[in-house]
């Protein structure tokens, strides 16, 4: 039985037993730029990578810490190794959730030095949910709730080619300084 996938950079990666040295940002950026959000049910192609870039830009607009910005960029990185399952189904797949959590933690530890704090995880979820709302509005003319969530940035749903999204993802990843001092206090804000 094969227990690995071969990544873009030709690493035989074991998603159930992630090894930090095998996690490559190049593989993540490439894969996420080619994976379509909403299981391909949007009116046009919109990649997970573009979604992560919009989440990152929202964190920037909200003046969040460098760690929250990086977490927004990486929050779907596990999907580059195990794909995604839609929210209505994922809630019933406990083993998948455990695998995804283990892989996400390994990715955060590799690139951020530690798992997310409770605050960081909450901010990523708030931003991720806000982007989801506006994506469904843009690509399906569907309102997921009566009250639109607050956004500080204007999401860019048409970021260019897969290759351009991949390169932008890598450029932003390489520009984030996790040692950056932040004036932002850890309080949940921007909730409407």
CB 38 within 8 A of CB 50: no
Whole-number Cα distances in Å, 179 to 65, 70, 72, 114: 10, 12, 17, 13
Query: Closest by alpha carbon to 163, among 63, 33, 40, 39?
Result: 33
- Strands 5-6 and 12-13 turn out to be antiparallel
Per-residue pLDDT tens for 11-58? 999 999 999 999 999 999 999 999 999 999 999 999 999 999 999 999
Q: Which residues of the chain have pLDDT under 50?
A: 190-192
The per-residue pLDDT for 86 is: 87
Nearby residues of 74 by Cβ (< 8 Å), 6 or more positions away: 28, 52, 107, 108, 111, 112
Q: Is 151 left (phi over 0), alpha (psi -120 to 50) or beta?
A: beta
Query: Closest by alpha carbon to 45, among 148, 161, 164, 177?
Result: 161
The per-residue pLDDT for 87 is: 86
Whether this prediction's pTM lies above 0.85 is answered by yes
The per-residue pLDDT for 192 is: 44
């Amino acid at each position: 039985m094969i227990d690995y996938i071969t990544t873009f950079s030709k690493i035989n990666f074991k998603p159930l037993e992630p090894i930090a040295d095998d996690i490559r940002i190049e593989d993540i950026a490439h894969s996420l730029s080619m994976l379509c959000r909403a299981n391909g049910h949007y009116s046009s192609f919109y990649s997970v990578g573009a979604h992560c870039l919009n989440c990152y830009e929202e964190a920037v607009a909200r003046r969040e810490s460098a760690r929250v910005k990086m977490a927004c960029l990486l929050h779907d990185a596990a999907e580059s190794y195990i794909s995604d399952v839609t929210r209505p189904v994922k809630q019933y797949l406990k083993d998948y959730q455990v695998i995804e959590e283990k892989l996400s933690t390994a990715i955060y530890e590799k690139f951020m030095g530690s798992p997310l704090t409770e605050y960081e995880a909450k901010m990523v979820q708030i931003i991720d949910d806000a982007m989801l709302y506006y994506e469904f509005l843009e690509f399906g003319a569907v309102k997921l709730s009566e009250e639109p969530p607050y956004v500080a940035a204007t999401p860019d749903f048409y970021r260019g080619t897969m290759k351009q999204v991949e390169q932008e993802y890598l450029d932003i990843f390489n520009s984030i300084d996790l040692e950056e001092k932040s004036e932002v206090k850890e309080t949940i804000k921007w909730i409407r």
